[in-house]
Amino acid sequence: MGNRMNGEREGMPSGILALIILIGSYILMRFVISPPLPSALTNFFMLFVIVGVLIHITLEDGRIEEFLDFISFRSRLHPIYNVIRWTVFIMIPFFVTYQVYSAVKISYAPPGELFQPHVTPPEWVVGFKVPEWASDPATWGRGLIAEGKIYYENHCAPCHGKEADGRGPEARVLIYPIPPTNFKDPGAIAQLPLSYVYWRVKEGGVRDRQFMSSMPAWEEEMDDEEIWKTIMYMYTKAGVKPRTW
């Protein structure tokens, strides 16, 4: 069927539209949604988007034909679309090479099965009620955060870094079994509810049989108020928000 005019088509070719949808969905999931989705979930959703686009294209003969003309360079396109088409096809080998390279590259990260980034909390954590004054990031006062800064810089910055990026001076020697968390990482405290973070600070990772990390337990050294203020500063400095259930 298609609307052919001397071999040049009107409107946007479906190949370009498909590209915009794919790239757009990816950007939306990786950079717009807050808190950001974990990358495994993004890949999973992308699979749906790709399948959706393919189903749309293969639903009508005209679309299939148009799409095949597009990818086989048979259709004449508007110069801009043509440049995009060429760019994409030239990029594909580089993209594949990069994917293969990242898959086979030797990595010093601990294997995933041994070190889940977030250990399973004890039962009390799930039902734990965060104190009213600390529960909503929108109401965290500047004074509380400023106090938290002092605790953070004294107790946490040596490992987690002054910038909350996991690069404190001690971090260099605390690589095994797992390095101090970079709080700016979208997969770290941005994925955690406050009750969970409170538990991790209180009980640490040393006594925790699942983990045995160098993260100290702070319950003897800090009272609850101090811990909450520290958590407020930690999120503020990292520029992320806790997850809500």
Alpha-carbon 129 to chain mean position: 27
Burial class (CB in 10 A: 0-12, 13-18, 19+), 97: exposed
Between the CA of residue 162 and those of 98, 174, 192, 237, 238, what are the distances in Å? 34, 16, 21, 9, 10
Q: Mark residue 11 as left, alpha or beta (left: phi above 0; alpha: psi -120 to 50; beta: remaining).
A: left
Convert residues 172-211 into a mask of x (bound to ligand HEC by CB under 6 A) and - (unbound): --x---xxxx------xx--x----x--xx---x-----x
Cα distance between residue 103 and residue 197, in whole Å: 32
How many residues of this chain interact with ligand HEC, rule: CB under 6 A?
28
**84 binds ligand HEC per the rule CB under 6 A:** no
Q: Which is nearer to ligand HEC, 140 or 218 (CB)?
A: 218
| Residue 30 CB, nearest approach to ligand HEC (Å) | 19
Convert residues 146-165 into a mask of x (bound to ligand HEC by CB under 6 A) and - (unbound): ---------xx-xxx-----
Please identify which residue in 213, 235, 237, 242 interacts with ligand HEC, judged by CB under 6 A.
Answer: 213
Q: Establish whether the linkage from the previous residue to 216 is cis, with ω within 30° of 0.
A: no
Residues that bind ligand HEC (CB under 6 A): 117-118, 155-156, 158-160, 170, 174, 178-181, 188-189, 192, 197, 200-201, 205, 211, 213-216, 218, 230, 234
